[in-house]
Amino acid sequence: MSNMLAVLLNGIAQLEYDRGRTLPPHQAAYLDKMDTKMDAGIMIGNTTVTHPDINQRAQFIAGNLHSAMKSNDEEMSAALCTWLANRLPDLKQVKISEAGETVTIDLVFDQEYEKQTAVTFNKLN
């Protein structure tokens, strides 16, 4: 069983998180702070959720992760990925698909992530 969580955008790995690494205390405190903020309520789509459960929080975090990745906010992307990896220990992959204006986010618990390998093609003359 792998300790990895991978975030894929349109099938391409964007982030990999190794749960085997120790989370520094300041980062753990930041995750707790995120939880405290979500305790006050979150917006999922156009719906306000006043007492979000873990699944609603994960959906909210994954949506924000997509936004952070699209705006190249590496620190926020890392924090949101860390939250997902630590709060959902069985989560294997976050698969984000974009098709025009439509974004689909799938949280995958039953399929281990397999590292992608870059393939180099040589130009033929």
Question: What pLDDT, in 10s, does the model give residues 76-91?
Answer: 999 999 999 999 999 9
Is residue 120 included in any domain, yes or no? Answer: no
The residue type found at 40 is A
- 1 confidence band (pLDDT: 50, 70, 90): low
Give the C-alpha separation, 20 to 16, whole Å.
12
pLDDT for 125: 61
Per the domain annotation, does 50 fall within a domain?
A: yes
Residue 77, exposed/middle/buried by CB under 10 A (0-12, 13-18, 19+)? buried
Number of compact structural domains in the chain:
1
- Residue 124 inside a domain? The answer is no
Query: Domain for residue 8, yes or no?
Result: yes
In a domain, 123, yes or no: no
How far is residue 41 from each of residues 74, 103, 124, measured CA to CA in Å?
25, 23, 58
- Supply the pTM of this predicted model: 0.86
Joined together, the tokens standing for residue 106 give 């799938």
Q: Is residue 118 part of a domain?
A: no
Q: If pLDDT is split at 50, 70 and 90, which confidence band does 115 have?
A: confident
The boundaries of the domain holding residue 97 are: 4-108
Do 17 and 85 form a contact (C-beta atoms < 8 A)?
yes
Residue 34 scores a pLDDT above 80: yes
